[in-house]
Amino acid sequence: MTRALEIFAVIHLTLMGLSHVVHHRAWAEFFINLRRLGYGGVFVHGFLSLGFGAMILAFHRVWSGMPLVLTIVGILYLMKTLQCFLLPEVSVRSLDRVTMERSRVFIGAGIAFLLIATATTIALVRETSTL
């Protein structure tokens, strides 16, 4: 199951990363629209993070080596979910910082997603070559 989840994560992170880099203005618009919904928009954001983070922690219990990076990503996604659900006012303030003029900040997030996908892919290839 761990390997399947790692493949799922590589696909997810690669697509999200490329999208953040190529369509950073669309991501800014998306989060601006969530902000307009107030706490409801924050909860939508939390639900989007919950699925990915919960899947990682449920099926990827790796606490050493390069695969640990993916486990940490899962923890961070669940921490973001907790913030959205338990401290929505903090998440609203975070959404308040998103503007079309600053949409390029999503490029950095996209690059981070791509780097994590690359690290996970390297770990998968190394694991396969040792089998």
Domain ranges of the chain: 2-130
How far apart CA 118 and CA 62 sit, in angstroms, is 17
pLDDT at 128: 81
What was the pLDDT predicted at 131?
Answer: 65
Q: CB of 13 within 8 A of CB of 110?
A: no
Contact predicate 7/124, CB 8 Å: yes
Which portions of the chain are predicted below pLDDT 50?
Answer: none
